[in-house]
Structure 1
């Protein structure tokens, strides 16, 4: 089992829970987050190195990876966990789309650019991407989140297909509702996201820990996601009709219709 890792988005939620689970097993950790104060607190608790900064940018990723190698000597696992939502549909601005794509997709691409060449030199490494069940299904009420999480899964699939024979393991975590600040701030979507039980971040971290030993591509803390994904693939029109019925219920609950606006 590897014992050195970088975890992004580690100041709270799933990232913090993953870091805590790894620390319990004696792993050496480098943690990153935009929230410098929160990150320092977590790093202090776990005897880890805090690297505050924006890991959605090329410069931020380069700095994080180099700092991690300087500290650890070698990064065996990179948990690309940081993510953002917008709670917007067609009314999402170009800035909303850019932020979602940079954080939820391109951060993974930029990390892989820095890590894969190093891993190929030593015969292997592991990239674990926190995607979402939205990346396998969809996310009503948040177009940028849904699209970017699909793209995150697609990039992870491509990376695995391209490099797995050279020792690089890629895994995609795809939970549904998780008891985090993102869920608390999801407004009318919270009921939809918790139709199946919302897991704690610690539950997700435990599922991730178990998955590290199996090397399976999909990590599904909510096992029902497997069945939803199979239904979507087998009966796409029926699945879309069902999702639209959920959208209609959401519209009725909020007293609104799905907004269609032209960005200025």
Structure 2
């Protein structure tokens, strides 16, 4: 996909990876609609961007808000070529994660993607196609120590993206999945000082497994993958090696993860 002149929606765009993706898109000549729950922070981020940029705050877990986003992009840009499902939550640690932690994680990390695809894929099939990109995580290919909710829903996010690609990838709908390890965002910073030991375990696992990248480095990885037509965007090259080892010998890989968990305790 050629991003120059494209029309994009980026969710979870008030900061972190989402804001970096929006910035890099504008630098590559795209028109961008940003959305996030944090209206004040979203407005500040949008004001800092150059180019054809608009914003609409709201909850991407709500189908009505997704419909409003698409309508706003249609009105301002004339359509949607790229949807970046970047919004995500990191709620719920250990087996003590409660029903609400699971429900929120599932709703934002997975079902928001499904609801957006329901709205966009049919119109792309009837028109000139489009690209659906998800910010998943290396946790969706490997696992996430400390948080079963995050690990499970990020696996589901990758699985849904794979299903989209297998079903529509040869029919004009490109799909990309971004799967980084540690990224310098508020989410990872919160884990370092969290009162829950499982949350701190998750933070330590991410920050010691590899380099902690900037959001801009991660955004570049995704946009490069989109322009090259690749499904997986792996800002940390080591994730591909870990993923291959996991597939080749799951038992050995799990033993290694157990050793890694104990080393962080």
Tell me whether the two structures share a fold, i.e. TM-score over 0.5.
Answer: yes
Q: For residues 161-202 of structure 1, what are the alpha-carbon distances to aligned partners after superposition, in whole Å with 9 as ceiling and x for unaligned?
A: 000111100000000000001110113232221221100001
Task: Kindly report which structure 2 residues correspond to 1:175-254, keeping only aligned pairs within 5 A, or say none.
Answer: 175-187=180-192, 188=200, 189-195=202-208, 196-250=210-264, 252=265
Length-normalised TM-score, structure 1 = 0.92
Q: How many residue pairs are counted as aligned between the two chains?
A: 251
Compute the displacement of 1:87 (Å): 4.5
Task: Tell me the C-alpha RMSD between the 2 structures.
Answer: 1.1
1:70 maps onto 2:75 in alignment: yes
SS state of the match for residue 55, structure 2?
strand
| Pair 1:135-2:140 in alignment | yes
| Moved >6 Å (runs of 4+) | none
Aligned to 2:177: 172
CA contact (8 A) 2:92 2:101 kept: no
Question: Is the 1:137–1:228 Cα contact (8 Å) retained in structure 2?
Answer: yes
**What is residue 112 of structure 2 aligned with on the other side?**
107
Q: Deviations over 1:222-260 (max 9, x none)?
A: 01000000000001001011111222233x3xxxxxxxx
Unpaired segments of 5 or more residues in structure 1?
253-264
Shift of 1:68: 1.7
Which of the residues 121, 125, 141 maps onto 1:120?
125
Unpaired runs of at least 5, structure 2: 193-199
Partner of 2:38: 35
2:17 aligned residue:
14
The answer to whether the 8 A contact 1:87-1:186 is kept is no
Q: Which residue of 130, 142, 149 maps to 1:144?
A: 149
